Amino acid sequence: MPNTLQHYIDGQWVDSQGGRVIAVINPATDASAADLILGTAADVDAAVIAARRAFESFSLTSREERIALLERIIAEYQKRIPDIARAIATEMGCPISIAQTAQAGSGLGHLGQALAALKDYAFSEKIGNNRVVREAIGVVALITPWNWPMNQILAKVGPALAAGCTMILKPSEEAPSCAAIFAEIMDAAGVPPGVFNLVQGDGGGVGTALAKHPGIDMVSFTGSTRAGIMVAKNAADTVKRVAQELGGKSPNIILEGTPLDVALPGGVGGVLLNSGQSCVAPTRMLVHRSQHDEAAQKVGALFAAKKIGDPQVEGDHIGPVVSQRQWERIQSLIQTGIDEGATLVTGGLGRPEGIEHGSYVRPTVFANVTPDMTIAREEIFGPVLVLMPYDDDEAAIRIANDTPYGLGAYVAGDPAHARKFVSRLRAGAVFVNAGGLAFDMPFGGYKQSGNGREFGRFGLEEFLEVKSVIGALPEEVD
């Protein structure tokens, strides 16, 4: 197992200054998977000192030097994909097949896009007789979640390095091992001391210390909206930049008359992938009232047929949710859906039949859900789908936008018909006919789903400051 009892600061593995040890629980077995040190404000101070010292030289490196560094990181990352996959399967319950491909693979995709963006990006632009230059913002704190751990780590680390920033990573305490593996990757790739630092810990301790720290120039945070609000408040006193990718409750509009056997499987797969633990999952399915009952029957059958199994075993099944606490929250929301009068189509309370331990949730479908119901408004973050009937296009748009979130929206049906919806859906990404994420396209949300954008060139620009150079100077070579 990787080292989760020390931090990686200034190019070395170091003991915590006063941290305490907790157990990381395997959600499939309820047993301890690893021990983790929870860092302290003193650990954050040490990491900030190292990062600020390293920034003085790393921010001045050439484009070519940073390209070579990213290429070395990619080579080392590829060697460790099996280790990363095992860590994800063990700590957050993602089946090893998905952990090896989508989970670990997404990190590699982000590194590749950061490299491509760096090769092509114009850091200097002439306007008249003057010039605009874009420079690294400084020392950045990267706070990442447990549900797609390497995806979110590399969506931040890759562009931050490309920009010339130095950084401190705080991963989720519920899935810390792949971050420790990544620190080993950075060490093996020869990243200069202090450029990349890892401080393990929880949000209330290390996360708060990072957000408040005057030596941090920017916080890039991915997680719940509730936690994102606290990060922004803690960062406000030092007026640092805060970029956030937060929660979602994405609508999936099945256009009237669309063949259900064509439209439904993609939406179902998007919810069940990762046991429903994806912020952009299409968890609200809007179906025309004339097709609602048929859709409920078909979706219910697809959910009921989904296999559930051991994350360590290869196969087309889903695993548990990340923790007992998350399991209990999902159970509470399922009970609320029943109490508020939604029609339970399949699934429901308790563990799946034949499973006696672990944080496994029964794949659950509710129908006849109205916009005022709790399960239509709160992010459940589990394998739970709600079907909502609508009467016409205007009603579908109104229901789709009736949410405090705005991360993603989905439309399935005739492309010409779908096009009419795109400009009216208040979301950072609109997926048409099962279109998936693209690592070179901007990702982020409207409203309470956050601010700023990640992925590719758009992620790189989040880590840059803009400087005006006014007055005649010799021509520069970019």
- For residues 50 and 197, the answer to whether their CB atoms sit within 8 Å is yes
Residues in the chain, overall count: 478
The CA-atom distances, in angstroms, between 12 and each of 7, 35, 150, 380 are 8, 20, 21, 40
> How many other CB atoms are found less than 10 A from the CB of residue 133?
16
Backbone angles phi, psi at 140, to 5 degrees: -120, 140
- Phi then psi for 2, rounded to 5 degrees? -70, 170
Catalytic residue among 279, 379, 454, 462: 279
**Close Cβ partners of 245 (under 8 Å, ≥ 6 residues apart):** 152, 221, 222, 279, 407, 443, 444, 445, 449, 450, 452, 454
Tokens of 374: 């709790």
165 is catalytic: no
- Residue 285 is which amino acid? M
Catalytic-labelled residue, pool 76, 173, 174, 245: 245
Alpha carbon 445 to its chain's center = 12
Do the Cβ atoms of 105 and 448 come closer than 8 Å? no
| Pairwise CA distance, residues 152 & 147, whole Å | 9
Maximum Cα–Cα distance for the chain, whole Å? Answer: 76
Taking CB atoms within 8 Å and a gap of at least 24, the contacts of 103-106 are 103/148, 103/149, 103/150, 103/151, 104/150, 105/81, 106/148, 106/150, 106/151, 106/154, 106/439
Cβ within 8 Å of residue 211, ≥6 positions away: 141, 143, 219, 230, 231, 234, 235, 242
Q: How far apart are CA 277 and CA 113, in angstroms?
A: 24
Rounded to whole angstroms, the Cα distance separating 403 from 411 reads 17
Alpha carbon 436 to chain centroid distance? 15
| Dihedral angle sign, alpha carbons of residues 344, 346, 352, 358 | negative
409: left (phi over 0), alpha (psi -120 to 50) or beta: beta
Is 135 annotated in the active site?
A: no
Residues belonging to the active site: 245, 279
